[in-house]
Chains A and B, each alone.
Chain A
Amino acid sequence: MEDLLTGRVHKFGDDINTDYIIAGKYTKTLDFTTLAEHVFEDIAPGFAQRVTPGDIIAAGSNFGCGSSRDQAPIAIKYAGIGAILAKSYSRIFFRNAINQGIPAFLCDTDALQEGDRVIIRLEENRIELPDRGEFLPLTPLSPVMLDILREGGLVEYLKKNGTYVLEG
């Protein structure tokens, strides 16, 4: 994962559950591109077609609540989303997104609007809104999540380390 990510914002509200991200009826497959075709279908029809690779989801609180399905972050990843910003995540989804190597960060997304250009500056723990000259702070990830993300996801992390390595 790179320290600098740039993309346009797609705005979502609070409590976006995993059924809304990818409906249960589509989850029984190992063909991940079909998951991407149906991402957010029930609440934002046509979303997949509107995504330019690298775009950013900016959601409210409790993003990804509901089921434990990895198909949810996988659908988001295969749709071309480059990062997720949210006020808070549901616990399981947060892990799953990082495990898929999707940069998922915590920040106050209220100020972000649909279509905003955003630069995530991970090294500086903040995001930049270049068109407005504004910055928003990011809440740092826990060290283990950051390590997994830096390897590109859990599979790569475990291939490298063989097991979990916690600092301290």
Chain B
Amino acid sequence: MGKTAAEKIVSAHVQGDVKAGDYVVADVDLAMIHDTTGPIAIRAFEEYGKEKVWDPSKMVIVLDHATPSPNERISGLHTLLRQFASSQGIRLFDGGEGVCHQLVAEKGLVVPGDLAVGADSHTCTYGALNVFSFGIGSTDMSGVMLTGKLWLRVPSTMKVDFHGAPPPGTYAKDLMLHLIGRIGSAGADYLALSFGGDTVRAMSISERMTLSNMAIECGAKVGLMEADEKTLAYLKGTGGRTPRPVWDDDDAEFASAMEIDVTSLPPQVSCPHSVDAVVPVTEVEGTEISQVYIGTCTNGRLDDLRIAAGILEGRKISPHCRLLVCPPSRKVLMDALAEGLIFKIVEAGGTILPPGCGPCPGTHQGIPGDGERVISTANRNFKGRMGNNKAEIYLASPATCAASALEGKIADPRKFISGAP
């Protein structure tokens, strides 16, 4: 009997041979905390009375959720994190560097075959790099900081294979929204998702990260993908450790398998207030929108900004809505500057925010007003998510969001894309 990639990676981190359902204590290759979850983890760690974390070189701290700080309370938390990082010798990315998940991938802090944890639910993003990575709470993180280990139950694997080329106007985000709509917000609870198929193989690393990023939105622990030449090329030059890629054996035992043909999939929109309330864009076209947000660890990378700028170029956004654009890292911002994308976005009427989470977690920027509707490239649309429980959030691809900014209404991006059906 073969093994799943999840079973193989966990086996390598317990120096044993595990199968789905086993309870194990696994070694951790990377532990990440940020400015929302880090302070509680540090507080809990301090209770153990141990001076140093298990291995500062395997930790990273990112200030991204509320940077630049909007008030003195959060400034205090930032100071606490900076002091902890310097006293422990832990690498810290300060405000303006970018969103934690983008930085971990971009800086090569993980490599295929790793087991990584982050005190953030979207830590599953690095599954796109063949990393068994998942979110944990701050207190669990304090245990990792103490021991370098974590107990876990080895998940069974649900295979999802995408086939065919998506039609013009349909992107990785649409595929993932479609999947979540189909299986529901608990559809992969306690499972490892394993993404494959020719569609995924044809995707860029950035597009793959969009899929893996949202694995948690259907409850999955991880959203794994195979490491191929694109993965290795992406990580080359980041100075990361030696990759140890693994993949599912054909004769491994899977919890379930699903094949999705994407050749005629239209752009998708997730409606308030639940990520799995997914419909084709045509069903909500014309819904008035007050604010558009393009950014986040899900969908703000260079290719996303290219798609958005392509639609915005030479046009003006509707006077009835605002367009906020937040590159998820300094590198993405610089690349977008060099390519002239930022100019196009700003000329069309967009506002550029400093690299970080931006308005996504509802803490400090771009909080919508009462009764306003927002369309966003983020991964979550729960009530109150962006800081106001009287606002509504729709989720869509950068193309659908850019098109909606032009019309001030939810718009079908295919109108603005040549060759689209």
Q: Spell out A's residues near B (CB within 8 Å).
A: 15, 17, 19-20, 23-25, 27-30, 41-43, 61-62, 65-71, 73-74, 88, 90-92, 95-96, 99-100, 142-144, 153-155, 158-159, 162-164, 166
Q: Is B43 an interface residue (CB 8 A)?
A: yes
- Name the residue of chain B whose CB is nearest to the CB of A74: B40
Is the Cβ of A99 less than 8 Å from the Cβ of B139?
yes
Is the Cβ of A142 less than 8 Å from the Cβ of B23?
yes
**Residues from chain A with Cβ under 8 Å of B362 in the complex:** 23-25
Bound-complex Cα distance A66 to B186 (A):
10
Among B66, B73, B139, B146, contact of A153 (Cβ-Cβ < 8 Å): B139
Interface membership of chain B positions 378-420, coded 1 if the CB is closer than 8 angstroms to chain A and 0 otherwise: 0010111101010000000000000000000000000000000
Is the Cβ of B189 less than 8 Å from the Cβ of A90?
yes
- In the complex, what's the smallest C-beta–C-beta distance from B116 to chain A, in angstroms? 14
- In the complex, what's the smallest C-beta–C-beta distance from A104 to chain B, in angstroms? 13
> Of B82-90, B147-155, B314-322, which binds chain A?
B147-155
Say yes or no: A155-B382 contact (C-beta < 8 A), given A28-B77, A91-B190, A92-B135. no
Say yes or no: A71-B147 contact (C-beta < 8 A), given A20-B383, A62-B185, A92-B121. no
Bound-complex Cα distance A163 to B118 (A):
19
Q: Which of B35, B118, B385 counts the most chain A CB atoms within 10 A? A: B385
Among A24, A62, A100, contact of B189 (Cβ-Cβ < 8 Å): A62
Among A62, A155, A164, contact of B186 (Cβ-Cβ < 8 Å): A62
- In the complex, what's the smallest C-beta–C-beta distance from B134 to chain A, in angstroms? 8
Bound-complex Cα distance A28 to B363 (A):
9
Bound-complex Cα distance A88 to B143 (A):
25
Among A24, A30, A159, contact of B40 (Cβ-Cβ < 8 Å): A30
- Other than the known A27-B36, A67-B121, A144-B151, what 11 A-B pairs have Cβ atoms closer than 8 Å? A15-B186, A28-B35, A28-B74, A30-B39, A65-B185, A66-B382, A70-B137, A88-B189, A90-B189, A95-B136, A154-B139
**Residues from chain A with Cβ under 8 Å of B384 in the complex:** 19-20, 23-25, 42
**Residues from chain A with Cβ under 8 Å of B25 in the complex:** 163-164, 166
Interface membership of chain B positions 107-129, coded 1 if the CB is closer than 8 angstroms to chain A and 0 otherwise: 00000000000111101000000
Is the Cβ of A28 less than 8 Å from the Cβ of B66?
yes
Bound-complex Cα distance A30 to B77 (A):
8
Bound-complex Cα distance A92 to B137 (A):
7
Is the Cβ of B385 less than 8 Å from the Cβ of A24?
yes
Bound-complex Cα distance A91 to B25 (A):
17
**Residues from chain B with Cβ under 8 Å of A27 in the complex:** 36
For this complex, into which size category does the number of interface residues on chain B fall?
Answer: 35 or more
**Residues from chain B with Cβ under 8 Å of A29 in the complex:** 73, 77
A-B contact pairs, 21 of them (CB 8 A): A23-B384, A24-B387, A28-B73, A30-B43, A65-B185, A65-B186, A66-B380, A67-B135, A69-B36, A73-B137, A88-B189, A91-B190, A92-B135, A153-B139, A155-B44, A155-B47, A155-B48, A159-B48, A163-B25, A166-B24, A166-B25
Is the Cβ of B142 less than 8 Å from the Cβ of A164?
no
Is the Cβ of B142 less than 8 Å from the Cβ of A159?
no
Q: Spell out B's residues near A (CB within 8 Å).
A: 23-25, 35-37, 39-40, 43-44, 47-48, 65-66, 73-74, 77, 118-121, 123, 135-140, 142-143, 146-147, 149-151, 153, 185-186, 189-190, 219, 221, 274, 361-363, 380, 382-385, 387, 389
**Residues from chain B with Cβ under 8 Å of A61 in the complex:** 186
**Residues from chain B with Cβ under 8 Å of A30 in the complex:** 39-40, 43, 77
Is the Cβ of B121 less than 8 Å from the Cβ of A68?
yes
Q: Which of A41, A61, A95 counts the most chain B CB atoms within 10 A? A: A95
Bound-complex Cα distance A3 to B119 (A):
31
**Residues from chain A with Cβ under 8 Å of B389 in the complex:** 23, 41-42
Is the Cβ of A96 less than 8 Å from the Cβ of B185?
no
